[in-house]
Structure 1
C-alpha cells in the first residue's frame, strides 16, 4: 500500500473515531428508544390469568373491543362501532382490521371465542361477563353478543376483556396453568420479548404492525423491585425513568423524600377508586348487624389515616363511599370518630366484657375475636391494618390480623367468603364494574367483597343494570349512595390522590389514563424519550 493510501486510510479512521462512526447495527442500538419502568408488582410468571400483576400488563399485548378514557368515557378500540337490538339484549360490534403478533388476521371468530372461553374457563370473568349468554361471529368483521337481559353498563365491563387468538387458546383446557410464550400473543402495541424472574427483568418490544401505528417507544423494560425504597433509589439515580403499580402511584409516605430532587417531576391526580376501605362480610354475624357496623365506623381515626397513611394526600371520606370525581357523586355525611357512640351501641347490642379480661365478648359471653384480612402487596394496607387493630382494640374489640398475598386475598374474598373484616382498595375500573358505582364490590351475586344480599340494595342494582335514561340513572345512583351511607356495608377509610413520579430529564409526554395509569395507549403515542 502506498504511503498516500495509508495516510488517507488513517485520516478516515481518525475522523470516524472522532465523529463516533458506528456500524448500521450499532447505530440502530444507539437510537433505540427504551423506556425503563420500576415496579414492586410481584410478577412471578407469564400467565395472563393466574398471575394477577402480569395480567395487568396484558393491555400492552392485547387490545379490547373498547377502552376507558378521561372521565370514564368509553372509546372504540378494536370495535369501530356498535349497536344494540332487542331493547339492549343483543349487541352487534363491527371490527376494524387488525392482526396478531404472529401475523394472523384478527377476526370476529377470535372475539366470539374469547367471550365464550373466558366465561367458561376463567373464574373472574364469570362476574365480569355475568349477563352474557353467548357470543357468535356473524361474518369476518362482525360479532354478536347476546345477553340474558339488558345491561346498561355492559361496555364498561367489556373493557377488561382482552381479545385472545383462537388458534392459540382453543386447545388450552387449563388457561390458569398455561405459561407458554404463545400465551402472550395478541394484537396490542407491544410484543412480549422475555421475562427473567431471577433478575427481575420483563421486556416488551414495539409492535411495528400495530393498527394505530408503531408506538414512540421501541422497548419497554420493567425492573421488578422487592421494596419501594430500592425502587425509589433507582429512580433518583436515573436507573429507571418512572415507576408503575396498577391503580396506584407511589406510597404517599415517601413522597416528601423526593420533593426537590433534581430532574424529578410528578403527575398528581385524584384517585377515582377508594384508596382503602374496611369491608364487612355482611352474611356473617355480627357484621350482618347494621348497628354493629355503625359502631365500628365511629371507632376509626379517619383524620390520622389521611395524615399518616396517605401523608396528607387524602381527605376524610363520606359515608356514601363513592369519591367526588364521579359524575353522579352525591354529598353524604362525613365520617367521624366518636367513641361514646361506639361504646353506647356495643353495650346496647350486648357486646361487653363478661369476665374482666379487658375484651368484649359475644352477648352470650363466649369469647369474641375478629379476623382482619389485608393485602401484603400494598404497603399502605399493611400499615393501616395496625392502625385499625389499635382503634378497635381501644374499644375492647379483639382483633387478629390476617396478612394475605394477593392471590390468597382474592381466594378468601372473591370465592370462599370466609373473611370477617378486610382492608382493600377499589380500582377505578372496579368502581364502574357490574352496574357501576362500586356495586360489583358490594353485591353478593358478583365479586361481592361485602357479600351483601340485602334486598333493598339488590333492587336498586337491578334497576340500574337495566336503566339507560340518564336522569333515571342519576336518581338510582343517588339512592345507592344513600343506602351505602345508611347501611355501611363497607367503610371508606380515606379518599386520596395518586402521585406518579418520573424523570423529566429522560422522558416527557406521559399521560395518566384513569384505568391503566401511565401505561395506557395515550402514553405510547405522545411519549418522548430524551
Structure 2
C-alpha cells in the first residue's frame, strides 16, 4: 500500500481524489439494475445496533460513513470530508461535504463529527484503543471539523477511516447506546437505509437511499442472511438461494472450490490477503511468556508446511518471522519460519522447562506443571482445527497445551479488555494491520489493542518515531526495524495465512474487491449489473 504523501503547511486539497468517490460513480441503467442482492454470511448479528460488532461492520459497508475511506488500492480518499490539511500531524482540519444528509433528512454537520468522536470516547471504553490519541474536537462552523491529537500521528487518517459518524440529534439523549435498539439507532448517512432485522429468520434488509449525496447505488435492496455454519452457507449459495457468500475480512475455505467450479453460474476470484489468517499471540506482560527464548521455542515446534497444506492447499505461503504481510509498504524479507524440533527442545531445556516426573510433559522451573492455555474462538472451525494441530506440535516438545474455546464475545472481552489470556490464536484484518502506526503496532503495542501486550520502550520508541516523521527514508528504516524486532522477539507469529477466495453470482458483473470490506465494496454497490 503506497500512502506516502507530502504534508504541506497550506491546505492539502484532494480534489483529484474526489473523482474516486461515489459522486462520480454511476449506478446501473434501469435495465441493468439489480432489484435485490442476497448476501449470506456466518457473521452473527445480535442487535440492530451500531455497537453490535457485526451490525457495526455492515453499517459501515451500507448505511454509515466516516470522514475518509479506503479505496480499492488501500489508499485514503475523501468520504464525508472533501479535503483536509495538517501542518504538524497533530492538528487535523477536515472540510465537510455540503450535500450530505442523514437518512431522516437532517444535514450532516461538523457538530455531528465532534459529537460522534466525543460520544464514542465517553460511552465505549474500547474506542480508546484506537482513537484514544484524540485530545479534543472542534466545530468552528457547520462544515469544518478540527481534530487535535495528543501527539503527532502520521497514520491518523487510517485510524479515523473506520470511525462511523452518528447523528447528534438522535443520540444526544441516549445514555446507554449498546442497549438502544430503536430503529433510529441505525440511521446513518450512507447509500443504504436500514429497513428491518428479522431476528427469527436471521435476515437484515437494507434499501437504497434515494437522497444519497452520491450516485444512487446500482442495487435497489440488499438482504443479508445469516447462517449457522459455512456448510449451510455454501449449500445455499450452490442452490442459488443467495448471490454472495461473504465473510468480513476473510474468504471461503479452499475445500469448497472444486464443487463451485462445476457451476457455470458461479465465478471465483482470488485476492491477496492484506491481513493474516491465523496468528499465535503471547501475553508478554505475564510470566513465563515475557521470555523471548520461550516464545522462540514455541515457534520452532510448529510444522508450517503441514499447516499451509492443510488449511490453504496452494492458496497460502509459509510465513516469515517478520510477521508483516508481503505487499505492505516497506516490507522486508526476514527468515522463513521452519519447524526444528531439536532446537525447540534445546531452548526449553536451557530455560529449565524439563520433564521431571517422566510423563513426557515438561514442568516449569518451579516444578509446577507447564500447561499453558491456548484461547481461540469456538465459532471459527478452522481456528479450532488449527488449535488442535498446535496442541499436537507442542506435545511433541513436551508442552501440555490446554485449548480454551470461547465464543466471539467472550474472546473479544478477554483479548481487548481483560487481557487475561496467556496464549491466543486469532487472525488480523487489513485495517488492524494499519491501525496504530501501522505494521501491526495496534495489535502489539499495549497502548492500543495490545493483544501481545508489548510495553518494551525500544519497541514503543520505534512506533512513536514512525508516527512523528514524514521522511520516506526514515519511515522505511523504521519499518524495517519493527519487522526485525518481530523476527527476533516474536511477541506473536503467523502460523498460516492464505489468499482471499471469493465466489460470487456470475450472472452479475461489476464486482470489485476492497482490502477493508472485500467484495462488498463501494465499487460493487455502485457498479454491479446484469452480465
The bucket for the TM-score relative to the shorter chain is: over 0.9
2:419 to 417, 420, 425: 417
1:454, 1:140 → 2: CA distance?
43
Displacement of 1:223 after TM fit? 1.2
CA distance in 2, matches of 1:118, 1:387: 40
Cα distance in 1, alignment partners of residues 74 and 472 from structure 2 = 15
Task: Tell me what 2:347 maps to.
Answer: 345
- Aligned twin of 1:517: 518
CA RMSD of aligned residues (A): 1.5
Give, in whole Å, the separation in 1 of the partners of 2:429 and 2:197: 26
Query: What's 1:116 paired with?
Result: 118
What secondary structure, in the 3-state scheme, does the structure 2 residue paired with 1:329 have? coil
Which of 377, 380, 383 is equivalent to 1:381?
383
- Determine if the alignment matches structure 1 residue 67 to structure 2 residue 69: yes
| 1:217 maps to which of 216, 219, 233 | 219
Deviation of 1:529 after TM superposition, in Å, equals: 4.1
Matches within 5 A, 1:420-499: 420-499=422-501
Aligned to 2:281: 279
| Structure 2 SS opposite 1:298 | helix
Query: Tell me, what secondary structure is at the counterpart of 1:425?
Result: strand
Correspondence 1:12-411 to 2 at 5 A: 33-49=35-51, 51-59=52-60, 60-85=62-87, 87-96=88-97, 97-411=99-413
Alpha-carbon separation, structure 1, partners of 2:173 and 2:313: 50
Shift of 1:31: 7.7
Provide closer, same or farther for how the CA distance between residues 459 and 32 of structure 1 changes in structure 2, counting only shifts above 3 A.
closer
Distance of 2:261 and 2:350 partners within structure 1 = 50
1:6 matched residue in structure 2: none
Deviation for aligned residue 1:32: 6.3
Return the alpha-carbon distance in structure 2 between the equivalents of residues 145 and 455 of structure 1.
27
- Structure-2 separation of matches of 1:405 and 1:252: 24
Q: State how far apart, in whole Å, the 2-side matches of 1:71 and 1:480 are.
A: 24
Question: Looking at both structures, which has the greater relative contact order when contacts are Cα pairs under 8 Å and sequence separation is at least 6?
Answer: 2
Comparing 264-273 with 116-125, which one deviates more in the overlay?
Answer: 116-125
3-state DSSP of counterpart to 2:184: helix
Structure 1: distance between partners of 2:73 and 2:472: 16
**DSSP 3-state at the match of 2:364:** coil
Query: What are structure 2's unaligned runs of at least 5 residues?
Result: 1-29
SS in 2 for 1:495: strand
Aligned partners of 2:33 and 2:218 also within 8 Å: no
Q: Distance in 2 between matches of 1:38 and 1:216?
A: 19
Tell me, in whole angstroms, the C-alpha distance in 1 between the residues paired with 2:328 and 2:354.
41
Quote the Cα distance in structure 2 between the aligned partners of 1:226 and 1:36. Answer: 16
Deviation at residue 119 of structure 1 after TM alignment: 1.3
Partner of 1:5: none
Residue 273 of structure 1 and its aligned partner are, at CA, apart by: 0.4
CA distance in 2, matches of 1:251, 1:376: 17
What is the rounded CA distance, in whole Å, between the counterparts of 2:255 and 2:348 in structure 1? Answer: 34
Q: Where in structure 1 do 4 or more consecutive aligned residues deviate above 6 Å?
A: none
Deviations 1:450-487 (A, max 9, x none): 01111111110111111122221111011000000010
Give yes or no for contact 1:34–1:529 (8 Å, CA) kept in 2.
Answer: no
Alpha carbons 1:38, 1:223 under 8 Å: kept = yes
The 3-state SS of whatever aligns with 2:276 is coil
Higher mean alpha-carbon deviation, 101-110 vs 302-311, is at 302-311
Q: Which protein has the larger Cα radius of gyration, Structure 1 or Structure 2?
A: 1
> Kindly tell me: are residues 36 and 529 of structure 1, through their superposed partners in 2, closer, same or farther at Cα, counting changes over 3 Å?
farther
Instruction: Name the SS for the 2:73 alignment partner.
Output: helix
Cα distance in structure 2, aligned partners of 1:405 and 1:385: 15
Kept in 2, the 8 Å contact 1:292–1:349? The answer is yes
Q: Could you say what secondary structure the match of 2:125 adopts?
A: coil
Contact 1:309-1:383 at 8 Å conserved across structures = no
- Supply the distance in 1 between the matched residues of 2:180 and 2:387 (Cα, whole angstroms): 35
| Counterpart-to-counterpart distance in 1, 2:421 and 2:183 | 36
Match of 1:4 in 2: none
What is the TM-score when the length of structure 2 is the normalising length? 0.92
CA offset at residue 142 of structure 1? 0.6
**1: CA distance between counterparts of 2:155 and 2:263?**
44
Unmatched runs of 5 consecutive residues or more in structure 1: 1-27
| 1:158-209 Cα deviation digits (max 9, x unpaired) | 0111110000111111112221111100100100011111111111000011
8 Å CA contact 1:112, 1:135 repeated in 2: yes
Residue aligning to 2:4: none
